[in-house]
Every structure is written in structure tokens, then in C-alpha cells.
Amino acid sequence: MANCKKVSRLLSDAQDRQLNAGEWLLVQTHLPICNNCRNYRRQLSVLQQATRALREGLAAGTESEE
């Protein structure tokens, strides 16, 4: 069984690459029993959305200056 440290690392890694089947299975079996890791996954999602919005906003701002 996976521990929180391993799952949080995999959740972070999943932001940059696709998890393999074994990694995905570890995450999917751990999340239902761990509120802390579910919260961490939500936090990563919020950060990813905010970064995307900022990047898109900056890109839109540069286009309007030209």
C-alpha cells in the first residue's frame, strides 16, 4: 500500500507527465482512504488553473500591446 509521501510525489509528477499503470493504481487506491491526499490533489488543481489563467492573461496582454 502506498503512503502519503509517495502518493503526493506521484500527484505532483502527474502535473508534468502521464503516470504509468502501476503509479496510477497506487494513487487511485490511496485517495479514497486519505483525506489529506485528496486535499493536496485539489490544491494542485487550483494552482494549475491559476497558472494557466495567469499565462493566458499575460499572453493576451502582450497581443494587445502589439
Rounded Cα distance between 56 and 59, Å, is: 5
User: pLDDT digit string (tens) for 3-56?
Assistant: 999 999 999 999 999 999 999 999 999 999 999 999 999 999 999 999 999 988
Domain locations in the chain as residue ranges: 4-65
Whole-prediction pTM value?
0.78
Is 70 exceeded by the pLDDT of residue 66?
Answer: no
Report residue 39 CA to chain centroid gap: 11
pLDDT tier, 1 (very low <50, low <70, confident <90, very high otherwise): low
Please tell me the predicted confidence (pLDDT) of residue 63: 62
Q: Collapsing DSSP states into helix, strand and coil, what is residue 48?
A: helix
Length of the chain, in residues: 66
Residue 38's CB is within 10 A of a number of other CB atoms, namely 15
